[in-house]
Amino acid sequence: MSWTDLRNRSRERSKEAGFTLIEVLAAIVILSIVSLVLTSYFTHALSYSKSNQSKTVMVNLARNALFYMEKQDFEELEIFLRGRPATGSQPEIIGHPAIQAASCVPLTQTTADCSAYSTAVSDVTTLAKVLNPTINNINYHIDIEYQSSLHTGMINSSDSIEKATAEYLLPVRIRVRDSNQGTTNAKETIVEGYITDEQIR
């Protein structure tokens, strides 16, 4: 084998020895674009998952408040929310449209400032904890609003079944807010339901 043959073979090998700089740069650009798309996808998926988790907690807190209110004396709660016209020796009682977390604050583990709701609820300390729970280090505030117009519509309904059941139901809207209220990160969930009389449970 001559010297020229060896030189030609080494040139052929050097042409096939690796990637060019342009090929490497193109591969890096393509990988960067793909990784950016995947990163943004996972970031959005994570924030969506966190939002769903927060909404689930709020819905469960609203249901918990509704269950707690159902354990109370229905007649006392109805008088408190709807009010009562004056009859005979009984004076008129003006109804309260809502039971609000801001008006029922726990002071200690065993006391609470909920005197406004003492006629409607048997244990105001527990009510304060139900309306102002702390879950995962986030404070929530729960308001229970009586839906007067819906209830009036049920009472005056032409449907006999709806009219008959209206006296055993109190339609309420439960509003759950987190402690970030007033900021852009504030979250709120509304759940509607009925407080039912023990007679139809």
Residue-level pLDDT at 50 = 79
Predicted confidence (pLDDT) per residue in 170-201, tens digit:
999 999 998 875 556 668 899 999 999 988 76
Q: Which portions of the chain are predicted below pLDDT 50?
A: none
Q: What is the CA radius of gyration of the chain?
A: 33
Residue-level pLDDT at 15 = 57
Q: Locate the domains of the chain by residue range.
A: 39-86+93-200
Tell me what the pLDDT averaged over the chain comes to: 85
Predicted confidence (pLDDT) per residue in 26-51, tens digit:
999 999 999 998 888 888 888 888 77
Residue-level pLDDT at 158 = 92
Long-range pairs for 117-121 at CB < 8 Å and ≥24 separation? 117/80, 119/76, 119/79, 119/80, 120/72, 120/76, 120/77, 120/79, 120/80, 120/81, 120/96, 121/72, 121/77
Q: How far apart are CA 74 and CA 143, in angstroms?
A: 18
